[in-house]
Amino acid sequence: MNNHTPDASAAPVPDDLPFEQAMEQLEEIVRRLERGDVPLDESVAIYERGEALKRHCEALLKRAEARIQKIAIGPDGRAAGAAPLDIE
């Protein structure tokens, strides 16, 4: 018996969903789709949910990258300050 409800797959991804939980949900979707035992309608719904989760994770990673800073090392080998990390 399947404990997944189609309504849950169609729910929007909340902005405050932590990265780890989003990844867990995405991994579960991949496992379900790879098993191939999901009806077509539900496959489409959970695929769409997976796409939304993927976009959410990408946005969270971009925000995290923007917060990372590189540490500037002074001539004495000590940290002399920080600057934004060039992620491009």
Rounded Cα distance, 9 and 32, in Å: 12
Any domain includes 26: yes
In a domain, 64, yes or no: yes
Q: What is the CATH number of the domain that holds 59?
A: 1.10.287
Determine the pLDDT at residue 75: 75
Evaluate whether residue 71 is within a structural domain. Answer: yes
- Count of domains for the chain: 1
pLDDT digits (tens, 9 = 90+) for 10-68: 678 999 999 999 999 999 999 999 999 999 999 999 999 999 999 999 999 988 877 77
Residue scoring higher pLDDT (5 or 82): 82
Q: Residue 21: which domain range?
A: 6-84
